[in-house]
């Protein structure tokens, strides 16, 4: 066994240990001890991940089998970890950004009492553990274990403040929506088992060519249904904006940087299956693009700082799926990485603002925070520029790679993608300008208390800001420098079906120029429009429709929830109450009534008993000898 | 005498006993009616015994057929005597408690 296999299990082990220590000792440990355990566990796994990254950098891949998970006749599923370029990249993202967010949380959650503080860190560690299991698993079953684990942690953390009913509803909504997707994933696993008899990546991908196109399409689409739920794509995206009920670090870690990208990881991992089915690829691209545009339109009119970021996340995830759909797997994974940097940064920045404003999230009540929160302001600005796709920030490289691949596939995809990018730039800078420019619009008391966050919060912001700025340089497109796309080379052993697109350099420059110019115009327009005179009133017309999220929640309510609820009411009142209850109670009532009538026979009158006895004997004899013996006897006597 | 006469007498006695048991309320009279029924049965047993024994002896002088019927009668008389002693004791106790021998006062256990 290789060294890597000896140490790989340590990566998920440390967060699991942290979860157990913090979870079991939540009533005994002090806050600082909890913070050290929670952050330390993730930091240790990050260090091991870095070491693993260095091991696989040269192109080696490993599969570590630990024990048989299911072992039944010829059906075997090992509990195994896949250590390769794709999983090691995700390990770095999860543990690296995870550590920064844990560090940030020690300050952000400091107002909670120590038992709840420990509960929070226990959940976060459990989440990191599940997420690591998800990306490290060497087969779809281990991935599914992690997949369910992150869903559970998402539920627990969205409903972390369980005293508030609305938050509990949001948590339930997230869980139920995810279950729908999970069902698709599970069916895909079953289909795979039925057709190939294995779920291990290596075996599935080497045998995938034996699948008929129909089978490959069904498996790919079912996997994509799973990804739709987890990665918040149309039609299962509505849980993600509501999931903002959780504490802000949770939104940053789970609902922006890591868990929601699990779907992208899964599809990138299964790229061999998708390459067999054009239908599935088109579906992924179209759903991704539609989600990117749809969510971007909604984000334009949201006034809750976290809601804007949530819709922005949905929209960016749409871009990643567009990339997957057009075969730009590297681009999608690249965007996962840069998005993890700048979106975690933006969420943590938003958290810093919310912290400073004493839990005010409405941007209409902020404004003029530029001077009061200098570090938050600067890092937030860098994050906004990165997400808007301005060169040479990280978002530019990854988004450009996806858009270029989309153009090679179909210029219409590219056009719509650029429109979405322009909207992204617009709503991000609307958010930025409304929050940080202009006059302060909060209460006098809030103005008095506004302060820059402690260093445990600003340091992660600065680190992430740095990554958002320079993170793109690992994926420099060929047009700028030949063979400079480090990420592409790094991932090429895993993403074997990457569809290379060749384009004239002039075309590519032109595409870049157009998208950057449009985004820049959108930025300037937004700053110009909102820095002096922010939107404070109620929106009208189309704006009102957008502010109400296209009434999708209402639509789902009318189409799915209400009919189901009606059916349940009918089942409860008719089938349950009068049917089943009626049957059970009816039996009881019948026996009760019958007994009451029979009870009258026991009168206590001895004469009545005797009469009954004699009559019974007579009847009994008549029946017993009903062949006429008695009558014959009597006849004989009379004669 | 033909056997029919015995049978009709026994039936009459038995019926009188049954009707007496059903219709009277005085415990002592009911008791007497029960005795009447027992004796109706005894009468029949003796009559049939005699009939069969007579027929068997005509064929074979040493025959014992039908003798057991008469033995039954003695058993019944002994059991009836025992029954009477117990029954009368019950009636005496009943009279001490309710100062009556009316069986309708025996429904005290009803509730």
Report ipTM for this prediction: 0.74
- Local structure of A604: helix, strand or coil: coil
Instruction: Return the residue of B nearest to A614 by Cα.
Output: B18
What pLDDT shows up at residue B109?
Answer: 60
In 10 A of CB A22, how many CB atoms? 26
Q: Which of B21, B22, B107 sits opposite A604 (nearest CB)?
A: B107
Tell me, yes or no, if A73 comes closer than 8 A to chain B by beta carbon. no
pLDDT confidence band for B111 (50 / 70 / 90) = low
> With contact defined as beta carbons under 8 Å apart, do A170 and A242 qualify?
yes
- Rounded to the nearest angstrom, the minimum Cα separation between B37 and chain A is 13
- Kindly state the percentage of chain A with pLDDT values over 90: 57
The pLDDT of A574-594, averaged and rounded, is 92
- Rounded to the nearest angstrom, the minimum Cα separation between A571 and chain B is 46
Tokens, residue A48: 């091991």
Tokens, residue A303: 């006034």
CA angle A509, A511, A513 (to 5 degrees): 65
- Local structure of A304: helix, strand or coil: strand
- Among A16-25, A221-230, A478-487, A593-602, where is mean pLDDT lowest? A478-487
Reported as a single tens digit per residue, the pLDDT across A34-83 is: 999 999 999 999 999 999 998 888 878 888 888 899 888 888 899 999 99
The pLDDT of B85-95, averaged and rounded, is 91
Reported as a single tens digit per residue, the pLDDT across B13-52 is: 999 999 998 888 898 999 999 999 999 999 999 999 998 8
Query: Above 70 in pLDDT, residue B110?
Result: no
CA atoms within 13 Å, Cβ hemisphere of A169: 6
- Rounded to the nearest angstrom, the minimum Cα separation between B67 and chain A is 23
Instruction: Return the residue of B nearest to A599 by Cα.
Output: B110
Residues 24-83 (B) with a CB less than 8 A from some CB of A: 25
Reported as a single tens digit per residue, the pLDDT across A357-396 is: 888 888 888 888 888 889 999 999 999 999 998 888 999 9
What pLDDT shows up at residue A306?
Answer: 92
Tokens, residue A325: 């759909």
Instruction: Return the residue of A nearest to B18 by Cα.
Output: A614
Contact B25 A602 (CB under 8 A): no
> With contact defined as beta carbons under 8 Å apart, do A462 and A471 qualify?
no
In 10 A of CB B85, how many CB atoms? 9
Query: Above 80 in pLDDT, residue A128?
Result: yes
Reported as a single tens digit per residue, the pLDDT across A521-532 is: 999 999 888 887
- Local structure of A84: helix, strand or coil: coil
Q: Which of B7, B18, B106 sits opposite A606 (nearest CB)?
A: B106
Tell me, yes or no, if B2 comes closer than 8 A to chain A by beta carbon. no
Question: Which of B23, B107, B108, B109 to mutate: most A Cβ within 10 Å?
Answer: B107
For residue A115, count CB atoms less than 10 angstroms from its CB and return exposed for 0-12, middle for 13-18, buried for 19 or more. Answer: middle
What pLDDT shows up at residue A533?
Answer: 74
CA angle A270, A274, A278 (to 5 degrees): 175
List helix spans (H) across A197-246.
Answer: 201-207, 213-230, 239-242
Task: Show residues of chain B in contact with A606, CB under 8 Å.
Answer: 103-104, 106-107
- Rounded to the nearest angstrom, the minimum Cα separation between B3 and chain A is 9
- Among A517-521, B1-5, B105-109, where is mean pLDDT lowest? B105-109
Contact A610 B22 (CB under 8 A): yes
The residues, ordered by sequence, that sit 6+ positions from A141 with a Cβ below 8 Å of its Cβ are: A69, A70, A77, A189, A199
Tell me, yes or no, if A541 comes closer than 8 A to chain B by beta carbon. no
Contact B21 A604 (CB under 8 A): no
Tell me, yes or no, if B103 comes closer than 8 A to chain A by beta carbon. yes
The Cα-based distances of B78 to A552, B40, B71, B72, B74 in angstroms read: 100, 15, 11, 10, 6
What would the DSSP string read from start to end of A22-73?
A: HHHTTTTS-HHHHHHHHHHHHHHHHHHHHHHHHHHTTS--EEEEEEEEEEET
Instruction: Return the residue of A nearest to B108 by Cα.
Output: A604
CA angle B2, B7, B8 (to 5 degrees): 100
The pLDDT of A447-474, averaged and rounded, is 89
Q: Which of A604, A610, A611 sits opposite B110 (nearest CB)?
A: A604
Rg, C-alpha atoms of chain B: 19
Question: Which of A599, A601, A603, A604 to mutate: most B Cβ within 10 Å?
Answer: A604
Query: Above 90 in pLDDT, residue A540?
Result: no
Query: Above 60 in pLDDT, residue A325?
Result: yes
CA angle A299, A302, A303 (to 5 degrees): 140
Contact B103 A637 (CB under 8 A): no
Tell me, yes or no, if A71 comes closer than 8 A to chain B by beta carbon. no
- Kindly state the percentage of chain B with pLDDT values over 70: 95
What would the DSSP string read from start to end of A366-390?
A: ----TTTSHHHHHHHHHHHHHHHT-
Question: Which of A600, A601, A607 to mutate: most B Cβ within 10 Å?
Answer: A607
Domain range annotation of chain A: 1-276, 283-537, 548-602, 606-639
Task: Show residues of chain B in contact with A607, CB under 8 Å.
Answer: 22, 25, 103-104
Contact B18 A611 (CB under 8 A): no
Question: Which of A337-341, A481-485, B19-23 shows the highest mean pLDDT?
Answer: A337-341
- Rounded to the nearest angstrom, the minimum Cα separation between B23 and chain A is 8
The pLDDT of A597-617, averaged and rounded, is 84
Distance between CA B89 and CA A48 in Å, rounded? 102
What pLDDT shows up at residue A609?
Answer: 84
**Exposed e or buried b per residue across A506-527, where buried means at least 16 C-beta atoms within 10 angstroms of its C-beta:** eebeebbeebbebbeebbeebb
What pLDDT shows up at residue A625?
Answer: 67
**Average pLDDT over chain A, rounded to whole?**
89
Distance between CA A390 and CA A396 in Å, rounded? 5
- Residue A82 pairs in a beta bridge with A63
Q: Which of B4, B7, B107 sits opposite A605 (nearest CB)?
A: B107
CA angle A606, A608, A610 (to 5 degrees): 70
Instruction: Return the residue of B nearest to A618 by Cα.
Output: B18
The Cα-based distances of A308 to A258, A372, A525, A615 in angstroms read: 18, 22, 18, 92
Q: Cis ω on the peptide bond leading into residue A499 (within 30° of 0)?
A: no
Contact B25 A607 (CB under 8 A): yes
- Kindly state the percentage of chain B with pLDDT values over 90: 51
What would the DSSP string read from start to end of A220-232?
A: HHHHHHHHHHHTT
Reported as a single tens digit per residue, the pLDDT across A498-508 is: 777 777 888 88
Kindly compute the dihedral angle of the four CA atoms of residues B91, B92, B94, B95, in this order, to the nearest 10 degrees: 120
Question: Which of B15, B18, B19, B102 to mutate: most A Cβ within 10 Å?
Answer: B18
- Rounded to the nearest angstrom, the minimum Cα separation between B11 and chain A is 11
- Rounded to the nearest angstrom, the minimum Cα separation between A605 and chain B is 6
Reported as a single tens digit per residue, the pLDDT across A104-117 is: 999 999 888 888 99
Task: Show residues of chain B in contact with A602, CB under 8 Å.
Answer: 110
What pLDDT shows up at residue A1?
Answer: 46
- Local structure of A139: helix, strand or coil: strand
Residues 15-34 (B) with a CB less than 8 A from some CB of A: 18, 21-22, 25
Full 3-state SS string of A451-487: CCCCHHHHHHHHHHHHHHHHHHHHHCCCCCCCCCCHH
What is the DSSP secondary structure assignment for residue A81, as one 8-state letter? E
Tell me, yes or no, if A614 comes closer than 8 A to chain B by beta carbon. yes
Distance spanning both ends of chain A, measured CA to CA: 113
Reported as a single tens digit per residue, the pLDDT across B56-84 is: 888 888 888 888 888 999 999 999 999 99
Comparing A126 with A72, the larger pLDDT belongs to A126
Contact A604 B109 (CB under 8 A): yes
Contact B18 A604 (CB under 8 A): no
For residue A494, count CB atoms less than 10 angstroms from its CB and return exposed for 0-12, middle for 13-18, buried for 19 or more. Answer: buried
What pLDDT shows up at residue A18?
Answer: 94
């Amino acid at each position: 066994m290789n060294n890597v296999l000896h140490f790989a299990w340590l990566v998920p082990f440390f967060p699991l240990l942290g979860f157990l220590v913090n979870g079991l000792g939540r009533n005994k440990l002090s806050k600082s001890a909890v913070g050290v355990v929670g952050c330390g566990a993730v930091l240790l796994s990050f260090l091991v991940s870095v070491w693993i990254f260095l091991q696989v950098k040269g192109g080696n891949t490993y599969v570590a089998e630990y024990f048989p998970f299911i072992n039944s006749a010829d059906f075997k599923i090992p509990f195994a970890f896949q250590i390769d370029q794709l999983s090691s990249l995700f390990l770095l993202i999860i543990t690296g950004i995870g550590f920064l967010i844990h560090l940030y949380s020690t300050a952000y959650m400091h107002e909670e009492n120590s038992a709840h503080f420990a509960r929070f860190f226990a959940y976060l560690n459990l989440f990191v553990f599940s997420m690591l299991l998800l990306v490290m698993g060497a087969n779809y079953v281990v991935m599914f274990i992690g997949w369910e684990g992150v869903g559970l942690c998402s539920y627990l953390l969205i409903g972390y403040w369980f005293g508030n009913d609305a938050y509990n509803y949001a948590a339930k909504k997230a869980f139920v929506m995810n279950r729908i997707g999970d069902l698709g994933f599970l069916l895909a696993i079953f289909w795979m088992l039925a057709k190939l008899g294995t779920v291990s990546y290596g075996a599935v991908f080497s045998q995938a060519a034996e699948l008929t196109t129909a089978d490959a399409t069904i498996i790919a689409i079912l996997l994509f249904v799973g990804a739709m739920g987890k990665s918040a794509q149309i039609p299962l995206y509505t849980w993600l904006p509501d999931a903002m009920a959780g504490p802000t670090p949770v939104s940053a870690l789970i609902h922006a940087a890591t868990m929601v990208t699990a779907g992208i990881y899964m599809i990138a991992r299964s790229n061999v299956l998708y390459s067999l089915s054009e239908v599935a690829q088109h579906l992924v691209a179209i759903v991704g693009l539609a989600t990117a545009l749809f969510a971007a339109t909604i984000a334009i009119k949201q006034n809750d700082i976290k809601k804007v970021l949530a819709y922005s996340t949905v929209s960016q995830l749409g871009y990643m799926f567009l990339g997957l759909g057009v075969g730009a797997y590297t681009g999608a994974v690249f965007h996962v990485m840069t998005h993890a940097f700048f979106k975690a940064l933006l969420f943590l920045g938003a958290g810093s603002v919310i912290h400073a404003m004493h839990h005010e999230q409405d941007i209409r009540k902020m404004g003029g925070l530029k001077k009061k929160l200098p570090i938050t302001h600067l890092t937030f600005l860098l994050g906004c520029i990165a997400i808007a796709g301005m060169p040479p920030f990280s978002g530019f490289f990854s988004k450009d790679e996806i858009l270029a691949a989309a153009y090679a596939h179909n210029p219409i995809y590219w056009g719509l993608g650029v429109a979405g990018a322009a909207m992204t730039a617009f709503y991000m800078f609307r958010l930025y300008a409304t929050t940080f420019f202009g006059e302060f619009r909060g209460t006098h008391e809030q103005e008095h208390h506004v302060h820059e966050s402690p260093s445990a919060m600003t340091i992660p912001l600065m680190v992430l800001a740095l990554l958002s700025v320079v993170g793109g340089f690992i994926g420099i497109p060929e047009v700028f420098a030949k063979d400079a796309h480090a990420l592409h080379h790094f991932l090429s052993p895993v993403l074997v079906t990457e569809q290379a697109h060749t384009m004239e350099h002039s075309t590519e420059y032109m595409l870049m120029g157009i998208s950057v110019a449009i985004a820049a115009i959108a930025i300037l327009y937004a700053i110009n429009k909102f820095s002096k005179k922010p939107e404070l009133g109620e929106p009208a017309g189309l704006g009102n429709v957008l502010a109400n999220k296209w009434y999708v929640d209402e639509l789902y309510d009318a189409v799915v929830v209400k009919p189901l609820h009606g059916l349940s009411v009918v089942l409860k009142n008719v089938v349950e109450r009068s049917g089943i209850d009626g049957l059970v109670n009816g039996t009881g009532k019948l026996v009760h009534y019958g007994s009451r009538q029979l009870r009258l026979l026991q009168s206590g009158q001895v004469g009545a008993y005797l009469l009954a006895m004699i009559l019974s004997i007579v009847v009994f004899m008549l029946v017993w000898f009903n062949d006429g013996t008695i009558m014959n006897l009597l006849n004989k006597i009379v004669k | 005498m033909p056997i029919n006469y015995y049978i009709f007498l026994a039936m009459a006695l038995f019926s009188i006993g049954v009707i007496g048991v059903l219709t009277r309320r005085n415990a002592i009279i009911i008791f007497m009616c029960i005795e009447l029924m027992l004796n109706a049965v005894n009468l029949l047993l003796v009559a049939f015994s005699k009939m069969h024994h007579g027929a068997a002896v005509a064929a074979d002088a040493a025959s014992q057929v039908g003798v057991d019927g008469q033995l039954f009668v003695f058993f019944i008389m002994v059991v009836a005597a025992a029954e009477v002693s117990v029954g009368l004791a019950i009636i005496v106790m009943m009279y001490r408690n309710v100062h009556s021998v009316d069986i309708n006062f025996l429904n005290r256990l009803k509730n």
